[in-house]
Amino acid sequence: MRRGVTDTPPVLDLEKESRSPASLRNLFDVVAEGLLNTAQNLQSIEGVEPMSIRWPRHLTPTHLSQLIRKQKNPLKALGIFGEAKNRYPNYHHNGPVYAAMIDILGRSGRVTEMKEVIYRMKEDSCECKDSVFAGAIKTYARAGLLDEAIALFRSLPQFNCVNWTESFITLLKILVKENELETTYHLFLENSCRWEVKSLTHALNLLIYSLCRIHRSDLALCIFQEMDNQCCYPVRETYLTLMRGLCEDGRLTEATHLLYSMLWRISQKGSGADVAIYRTLLDALCDNGEVYEAVAILGKVLRKGLKAPKRCQKQLDLSQRNHECEASIHNAKAFITKALIKGIVPSWDAYRSLAVDFYSEGKIDKGDEVLKEMYDRGLRPSSRIYEAKVASLFTSGTIDEVMDVIDREMVENSCVPTVRLYNTLIRGLCNKGKSDLALGYFEKMSRQVACVPNQETYEILVDGLCSDGKYLEASQMLEQMLIHSYWPGGETYTKLIQGLCLIGRPYKAVMWLEEMISQAKIPQISVWGSLVSSVCSESLDIESRSWSPSYSSSLPNNGYNRYHRSSPDYSSYTRRTPMPTEEIGIDLSSDSSESESELEPEHFESRSDDSLSRRSKSVSEIESGSEESR
């Protein structure tokens, strides 16, 4: 029985100078096995056999949902999903099972299969949650099928779903992002009065945002004024979006009236978290030269909006600062910022809102002033504030400053980094070409209690390592990702395989190619081209060495020496059967003198779950073997 690609390859040392044709023979053998195995899987990928699992005596929807989520191949999960009804006539899928299957197909990009499952869910008329349709709408949008997403939402009356709010908001967000404002408007009019849409506040906020983005804040203001008639209460996001739109369009009079209406709605305790809205208007008035008006409004904000203590208002002495502020716009804005920081009634929400606002605008010094004020008031900054600071430092600061924030400042303030903060840090380091530092923080993150790297963490690291040309480290990181049951996308496999071929590691490339196929991901043509190019470069290198007189004379008088003295002939190492690769553009000729019966079907069986780590160890032995092993 011939060795398949899933077995242990011969131990070769391709890094030594003394490369022999035997190495090339084994290299071609393993690569050809991998290509043939891949082609075989590509042809039979639609017929994944779901019978290899162990079925229980009595199947429940919960058990089936857990079973299909464990499958890394979405088509195998779909086969199990369909086989359940054939094996258990009294079994019926419920909403969570359909949700799990639709989620698996959606994340893997299997749009056609996902559409079929959604149709079967409609035929079964089982109760389903709104989040299922929201996820399907996102999948259609990622695939560029915006019309399909709209058609799915309009067909919701045919499903057993009583709440459409999440899918409605999701579709509106996508339409606004794609600048489909007319479609957004008509979709809102069609569904705003339906009882299935429970709340319109978020939808109206999206309309206000879309209009402000195209500098039609006048229309956005009309929508804001109609919110009361729609039984909707404007939230902080509504005021902030509209205030920024009015100030950017120069409608300062309307912005001032908006602020007064906001102060009228505020309770007697005030609202420190709204300080970012106040600062937006005050800075716009100063930039427009209306410093006196800005200082007058500041006094009202301190009294009514922030409920600042009287001693704080006396310390600021606004009446004595008018002349000083009018002399310089910069001085006026600095004074207003200081007044807002000092006038806030100590609360975590107020300081967070102001600090995050400063850092998002790149004003790191102002944000640090807010942090200092928090320390003086006995409040501890949260990881959300440090996340905004780290992101701002990556834009306008240096890596040393970022590391000082993580390693010193957060430790001194007893602030524990979160997964979201680590992801921001690792992404910034990888974008700066410092993937080695990112690996160090990844190890630190893994050792931290209750801070487990998620799929986003692994994807950022693998992409960053590949961008820096560290393909072997990226291969190890991808292996850890698979061990933790996170399935990467096809783009990640493509980049890694091409990189391994670029540095002359075709064995590892074949391993990841087979893993890619086992997850029902079809490689691009460029992947095949990179793999064949890598093998051909090995062939040319060994052939040139075999004709070198100095190299031939250094070999012992054995079979290898006789081989090198003759013209290389690899015809005996070609495949025994024609490769079924016409659809993917690869031609590996066959030798008709040998029988097809030597290739048994078991060579093309899918690997077991633990085969990846086993063959990874074999690949390491191949590429670091000794002279005795050859």
Q: Is the pLDDT of residue 202 over 70?
A: yes
Q: Which residue has the tokens 């691009």?
A: 524
* 505 has pLDDT over 70: yes
| pLDDT at site 418 | 93
- Give the pLDDT band of residue 26 (cuts 50, 70, 90): low
CA distance linking residue 121 with residue 135, whole number of Å = 15
Dump pLDDT digits (tens) for 378-390: 888 889 999 999 9
113-129 burial code (b ≥16 CB/10 A, e <16): bbbebbeebbeeebebb
**The predicted structure's pLDDT at residue 439:** 94
- pLDDT at 303 (0 to 100): 81
pLDDT for 347-369, tens place per residue?
Answer: 788 888 889 999 998 889 999 98
Segment 597-614 mean pLDDT: 42
* Half-sphere exposure at residue 331, Cβ-oriented, CA atoms within 13 angstroms: 9
Of residues 345, 385, 336, 340, the one with CA closest to residue 364: 385
Q: What is the pLDDT of residue 334?
A: 81
CATH topology of domain 73-198: 1.25.40
The predicted model gives 258-262 an average pLDDT of 89
Using the predicted structure, report yes or no on whether residue 508 has a pLDDT greater than 80: yes
Predicted confidence at residue 315, as pLDDT, reads 52
Least confident of 2-16, 28-42, 307-321: 2-16
Lowest model confidence (mean pLDDT) among 165-179, 382-396, 500-514, 535-549: 535-549
Question: Rounded mean pLDDT of the chain?
Answer: 78
How far, in Å, CA of 58 to CA of 427, rounded? 47
User: Residue 565 pLDDT > 70, yes or no?
Assistant: no
Residue 569 burial by Cβ neighbours in a 10 Å radius (0-12, 13-18, 19+)? exposed
Please check the confidence at residue 104 and state whether its pLDDT lies above 90: yes
pLDDT confidence band for 229 (50 / 70 / 90): confident
Q: Please report, in angstroms and rounded to a whole number, the separation of the first and last CA atoms in the chain.
A: 22
Lowest mean pLDDT among 8-22, 139-153, 373-387, 542-556: 8-22
545 phi, psi to nearest 5 deg: -70, -35
Q: What is the pLDDT of residue 299?
A: 83
Q: What per-residue confidence (pLDDT) applies to 44?
A: 45
* pLDDT band, very low/low/confident/very high, at 316 (cuts 50, 70, 90): low
- The SS3 assignment for 454 reads coil
Which pLDDT does position 28 carry in this prediction? Answer: 55
Residue 310 has pLDDT above 80, yes or no: no
Residue spans of alpha helices (H) in 317-454: 318-327, 329-343, 348-360, 364-376, 383-396, 399-404, 410-412, 419-431, 435-447
Predicted pLDDT at 419: 94
Name the nearest CA neighbour of 45 among 516, 543, 526. 516
Residue 33 has pLDDT above 70, yes or no: no
| pLDDT at site 388 | 93
User: Mean pLDDT over residues 125-129, rounded?
Assistant: 89
Taking the C-alpha atoms of residue 171 and residue 136, their distance in angstroms, rounded to an integer, is 10
Q: What is the pLDDT of residue 296?
A: 86
CB 437 within 8 A of CB 468: no
What DSSP string describes 427-451?
A: HHHHHTT-HHHHHHHHHHHHHSTT-
> What is the predicted pLDDT for the residue at 30?
54
Residue type (1 letter), 446:
S
Strand partners, 575: 590
Poorest-pLDDT segment among 150-154, 183-187, 230-234, 550-554: 550-554
- What whole-number distance in Å separates Cα of residue 243 and Cα of residue 278? 9
d(CA 209, CA 175): 12
The model's confidence at residue 457, banded by pLDDT at 50, 70 and 90, is: very high
How is residue 31 written in tokens?
């690569």
Closest to 339 (Cα-Cα) out of 376, 302, 307, 293? 302
The pLDDT, as a whole number, for residue 170 is 95
Report, as an integer, the average pLDDT of 251-262: 92
Q: Answer left, alpha or beta for residue 18, where phi above 0 means left and psi between -120 and 50 means alpha.
A: beta
Q: What pLDDT shows up at residue 38?
A: 54
Residue 157 per-residue DSSP state: G
pTM of the model: 0.73
Pure H helices in 181-290: 181-191, 201-213, 217-225, 236-248, 252-265, 275-287
Which of 130-139, 212-221, 582-591 is the least confident region? Answer: 582-591
Q: Which amino acid is at 436?
A: D
What pLDDT does 13 receive? Answer: 40
pLDDT, residue 241, reads: 94
pLDDT computed for residue 603 by the predictor: 40
pLDDT, one tens digit per residue, over 265-303 is 765 555 677 888 999 999 999 888 888 888 888 888 888
Question: 74 and 104 in contact (C-beta within 8 Å)?
Answer: yes
CA distance 50 to 63: 15
Banded pLDDT at 224 (limits 50, 70, 90): very high
> Rounded to whole angstroms, how far apart are CA atoms 124 and 565?
72
Give the residue, 386 or 504, on which the prediction is more confident.
386
Contacts of 18 (CB under 8 A, 6+ apart): 551, 554, 555
Cα separation, 369 vs 373, in Å, equals 6
Report the distance separating Cα 529 and Cα 537, nearest Å.
Answer: 12
pLDDT digits (tens, 9 = 90+) for 35-75: 555 555 544 444 444 446 788 889 999 999 999 998 888 99
Please give the DSSP secondary-structure letter assigned to residue 578. -
